[in-house]
Amino acid sequence: MHDDSSNPIPGWQKQDLPPMLTRRFEFESYGMTRQFLDAVAKLSEEAALYPNLSFGKTYVSVTIDSDGKKIGPDAVSLAQKIDSLVGQKNQSPG
């Protein structure tokens, strides 16, 4: 067993036990929060992957788990699509 904890996606936290990818997004208004939630719902249905979403008026925490299995390419792909909803502003690789 080698260390496989490299982080596949900038901005997301990867946890190995139980396996999950998680990221928190903040918004300026409830309207923007709702827009984001609706868009994530659409992506979830397309991917047939349903993250756990926790949200309040101006934030959304997304947790993609995989029922105890290793985080697969489908989970990473969904995370990347969710990132693309908010543009690149939160991702500034040097």
Contacting positions for a second copy (CB under 8 A): 30, 34, 37, 41, 45, 50-57
Query: 3-class DSSP state for residue 74?
Result: helix
Choice between 4 and 26, CB closer to a second copy: 26
Least Å distance, CB 31 to a second copy, is 9
Least Cβ distance, residue 45 to a second copy (angstroms): 7
* Residue from 86, 93, 78 nearest 24 by CA: 86
CB of 26 to a second copy, least distance (A): 14
Q: Among residues 53 and 76, whose Cβ is nearest to a second copy?
A: 53
CB 50 within 8 A of CB 44: yes
Tell me the HSE value of 22 on the side-chain side, using a 13 A CA sphere.
Answer: 13
